Each structure stands twice: as C-alpha cells, then as structure tokens.
Structure 1
Amino acid sequence: MPHAWIECSANIADEPEVQKLKTLVYDAALETGIFPLGGVRVRFQVIDDYIVGDGDPANSFVHVVLRIGAGRDLATKKAAADQVFAGICDLLRPLHDRRPLAVAFEVQEMSADLNYKFNNLHEYIKKKAVSR
C-alpha cells in the first residue's frame, strides 16, 4: 500500500500541473518512508461528466484518495497524509491561482480483515534490485 485514485475534471486535464500530479503522488507516498515500493499503485482518471460548485464550466476539481493498509498509528498516518497533501497543494498552487479549483484529499484505511492480496511485485522488485 498505498493505492491512490486521482480524479480531475476534464477542463484541467491538460494543464501542466495536473499532468505532473500522478508522479508527484507516487513520489510523495514513497518519500514518507512508510510504504513499500511494491505496494504503491497510482491511478489517474479524467472525469468528463461533472458539475462543480455553481455549475460554471470554468470550475474545476482534483480529488485524491489514498487507501492504505491497516495497522499504523494515527500520528504516523497523519504525518504521511500531511506530507502527501502538502506536495499536492504545492504542485497545484499555480493552477489554483489561475482558475477556480477545488482540491480534495482523503486517506482511507483498508480493513485488516477484509483486504486480500495476490501480489508478487515485491519479489520481482527485489530480484531486479539484486541484479543491478
């Protein structure tokens, strides 16, 4: 973990800041130091059908959900969330200054009992690291 879902309104999908968002969330998650490389997943989706705020077509949004595995204490989760959100805000600040933009970020903890995995990425990443 973490798994990140990033959504943005279509009217900002081509903005340079939004184009960099996927990489920023990926890097920021790893920089927290609490998530394993083989567990990181980032999805990016442009939403074509939406209404934001008062319905003005200039209004835009970015929504990021970071789902993490269970078991970390609140202070650790909060520190990681603060770090990732700060990176998102820093990246999107110029866009925020240019146009109406709503940015939302949420961290969700997955159930320890109902979270199933079939994953060999950790093994492949370790093998690649050894062979370098």
Structure 2
Amino acid sequence: MPHAWIEYSGNIADQTEVETFGRCVHAAMTEAGIFPIAGIRIRINRIDDCLVGDMNPDNGFVHLSLRIGEGRDAQTKQEAADLIFDRTSSHLKPLADRARLAYAMEMQEIPSAYSYKMNNLHKHLKAS
C-alpha cells in the first residue's frame, strides 16, 4: 500500500495533463514521504462509457481514489492527502482552464486485518 486508481473520461484522453497524470500522482505520493515506494501501485483507466454532469459531451472528469494501509495518525494522513490533492489539482489546472473538467480525489484507509500482501519489491529496491 498505497494503491491509486485513476479514472478519466475518454473525451480528455489526448490532453497532456491526462497523459502525464499517473506520473504526477506517483511523484506526489512519493513527496508525501509516508508511503513505501515498493508499495505504490497506480492503475489508470480510461472510461469511455460515462455521463458527466448535465450530460454535455464536452464535460470531462478525472477521479483519483487512494487506498492506504492503517497505522498513521489523522494529522499525517490529512497532510499527505492535502499535498497529493494540491499537486494533482495544480497539474490539472491548465486543462480545467480551457475545458469543462470535474476532478475529485478521495483517500481511504484499509484495516490491516483485511489487507493481505506478498511483495518482494522492497528487497529488490534495496539491492538497486
């Protein structure tokens, strides 16, 4: 953990900000300083079948959902969420300045009792 799911409407797929959004999310998660690099997973999904707002075909959206493991205090989680939202919304601002865009982000904590892992990336990252 943490894992990120990015969904975006297909009508904005060719925009530079969308094409580079995954790397922006990764950089922000890394900058937050509380997530192990080997645990970061980012899934990026284009959504072609969607209805946004008043169903105007020019309406676009980006949604970022973060799921993190438990064990951090509320202030630490809030600071990380604030930083990630600040970086990602700043990244998307040029697109929002020229197009119809709805951007939302959420962060959820997964109780450790329900989080199972098998991950040898930590070992490999230390070796590099």
Q: Indicate the TM-score class for this superposition, using the shorter chain for normalisation.
A: over 0.9
Deviation sequence 1:30-80 (CA, Å, 0-9, x none): 111101110111110100100000000000000000111101011000000
Q: Is 1:60 aligned to residue 60 of structure 2?
A: yes
Query: What secondary structure, in the 3-state scheme, does the structure 2 residue paired with 1:77 have?
Result: helix
Distance 2:83 2:75 in 1: 12
* Deviating 4+ runs (over 6 angstroms): none
Q: TM-score, normalised by structure 2?
A: 0.98
Partner residue, 2:37? 37
Report the aligned-residue RMSD.
0.6
Q: TM-score, normalised by structure 1?
A: 0.95
Q: CA deviation at 1:2?
A: 1.1
Distance 1:2 1:23 in 2: 15
- Report % sequence identity: 52
Distance 2:108 2:54 in 1: 28
Q: CA deviation at 1:22?
A: 0.2
Query: What secondary structure, in the 3-state scheme, does the structure 2 residue paired with 1:72 have?
Result: coil
Partner residue, 1:7? 7
Gaps of 5+ in 2: none
Gaps of 5+ in 1: none
